[in-house]
Amino acid sequence: AQKITQTQPGMFVQEKEAVTLDCTYDTSDPSYGLFWYKQPSSGEMIFLIYQGSYDQQNATEGRYSLNFQKARKSANLVISASQLGDSAMYFCAMSDNTGTASKLTFGTGTRLQVTL
């Protein structure tokens, strides 16, 4: 069975600073995908970034990057130059394959608060 662990219930970061949100995962499958979603207070789920287990390079999407350390089974999200609008819940999730649609297993989330 797959498992996602997010150990930081809440994080604070100052505007314009970088922040790292931790995510570790457990799976026996060699093929999997790792995702990060943002959930603002309005409630919608917004896709941020994806990393496949066979991808050699860390994924990047604008100010978001995924620090993928396969041996450590970690997939941390790095947000550079934080903005007030980044305040939200952030969920790490994984799928049981890569390159095709599959169900997601979510972590418990990290609430990020960006301060002035």
Partner 1 sequence: DAGVIQSPRHEVTEMGQEVTLRCKPISGHDYLFWYRQTMMRGLELLIYFNNNVPIDDSGMPEDRFSAKMPNASFSTLKIQPSEPRDSAVYFCASVSGTSGGIRQFFGPGTRLTVL
| Site for partner 1 contains 109 (CB under 8 A) | yes
Nearer to partner 1 by Cβ, of 37 and 68: the residue is 37
From residue 51 to residue 80, the character string flagging contacts with partner 1 as x (rule: CB under 8 A) and all else as - is ------------------------------
Task: Give the N- to C-terminal CA distance of the chain in Å, as an integer.
Answer: 41
Is residue 103 near partner 1 by the rule CB under 8 A?
A: yes
Q: Which is nearer to partner 1, 56 or 100 (CB)?
A: 100
Q: Quote the tokens at residue 46.
A: 């917004």
| Binding-site member from 47, 62, 113, 115 for partner 1 (CB under 8 A) | 47
CB-nearer residue toward partner 1: 66 or 107: 107
The strand ranges marked E within the chain are 3-5, 10-14, 19-21, 24-26, 33-39, 46-52, 60-61, 64-69, 74-79, 88-95, 104-106, 110-115
CA 56 to the chain's CA centroid? 17
